[in-house]
Amino acid sequence: MSLILFCLKKLFTILKNEAFVLPSRVIVVFFFLFLLLLPLFTKDPYLLRIFTLTSIFAILAASWDLLSGFTGQMNFGHALFFGVGAYGAALLNRHASIPPWGTIPLSALGAVLAGLIIGIPCLRLRGTYLALTTLAFPIILMGLVFAFPDFTGGELGISGIARLARSRVADYYIAVVLMLGLCTIMWKITDSHTGIIFHAIREDELAVRAAGINTTRYKLLAFCLSGFFAGISGGLYAHFMRIAGPSTLEVSMSFQVVIWAIFGGIVTIYGPVGAVFVLFPLLEFLRFWQDYRTLMFACIVLFILLYMPDGLFRWMRDKIEKECPRCKIRNVAMRHTCRVCTAPLD
């Protein structure tokens, strides 16, 4: 009993002193609560379906940020990892009849392998060369998918895959909890020692190498990590939609990921996640004007970029928070002095 009380007290202290001091953290707490409590208020299958898909794509967008945002290895072929995850899960499920909890991690390992395979040639390239080369890989795989229709189902894809869970609500919880967990892990990775090296590689690779760090190994690690998370999202997608088709490998899929991530603001993890939660439901909402849907989407992206070229969520965060000039700790924008070192905020 006293243990529970202690834990509650500790939780309360953490919330009070760490979470509720900054508006952005309050928003994150409410975001978690909203997603976890949503099925209690509505059982609308359509709404739950949208949020499940949104969560799946949020993992994908965040994994792109881990590779391309943090490490600076511009990847235009992120659909490769997603497609390998989806096809891997589908093939394992159909031919080896492994249930979803087995196929998703296995297909994620397949995506890690894909990350290694494309990482090795790509290590020698940088910048725009890398971006344009990575674009090629999903297209090569798509050509193979079309060339062997007996094994991969060709244009129709592989259908009839086992469901993720029995009910819609269970599907929803699996996707949402995985999304929240994996994104937290990604955020923790970027905050760790490894994450700092990733940052440094983006800023100045030569300097990192001069500091005695094997940048090749870290870049490969970034490819593998990103591939792992994207593979999980691909596997979830295949089991949720119960089909793995060539649309998972399309160029537009790769571009979609880039749009989500840059729209939300790269090098943040929360930016891409938030952007998916804004843009994906928006696209569904625009279905009232079915014909104009993609056009409106493109125009919204274009016009928002004109005003917030650093990404939507970075812009919003800079509006509601200020960085202390002395101790670099963030404060609510309304404060006049820093909450830690009491230096005046300008």
Partner 1 sequence: MNLIIDILISGLISGSVFALLAIGFSLIFGVARIVNIAHTAFYMVAAYCIYFATHKMGFHPVWGMVAAIVLVTLLGMLSYMIFINPIREHEGAVLIATIALAMAFQEIMLLKFTGTYLSVPSLVKGYLVILGVKVFYQQLLTFCLASLIMAVLWVLLMRTKLGLAIRSTAQDREVANLMGINEARVALITMGISVGLAALTGAVVVPLTIVEPHMWMHPLIMMMAVVVLGGLGSLKGSFIGAYILGFAEALVVFLAPMGAFLKGSVALSIMILVLLIRPEGLFGVSFEEER
Binding site for partner 1 (CB under 8 A): 121, 124-125, 128-129, 131-133, 135-137, 139-140, 142-144, 146-147, 204, 206, 251, 255, 258-259, 262-263, 266, 291-292, 294-295, 297-299, 301-302, 305-306, 309-310
Minimum CB distance to partner 1 smaller for 30 or for 303: 303
CB of 58 to partner 1, least distance (A): 17
236/266 with CB nearer partner 1: 266
Q: Nearer Cβ to partner 1, position 144 or 282?
A: 144
How far apart are alpha carbons 196 and 194 in whole angstroms? 5
Total residues belonging to the chain:
346
In the complex, the smallest distance separating the C-beta of residue 147 from partner 1, rounded to whole angstroms, is 5
In the bound complex, what is the minimum distance in angstroms from residue 135's beta carbon to partner 1?
A: 6
Minimum gap (Å) between residue 18 Cβ and partner 1: 31
Our CB check for partner 1 shows the closer of 5 and 302 to be 302
Backbone angles phi, psi at 268, to 5 degrees: -135, -25
Dihedral sign (CA 24, 21, 327, 344):
positive
Least distance CB 336 / partner 1 (angstroms): 31
SS3 124: coil
**Residue 150 or 346 with smaller CB distance to partner 1:** 150
Q: Residue 187's closest CA among 83, 275, 84, 273?
A: 273
Which of residues 6 and 129 has its CB atom nearest to partner 1 in the complex?
Answer: 129
- For the CB of residue 137, give the shortest distance to partner 1 in the complex, in Å: 8
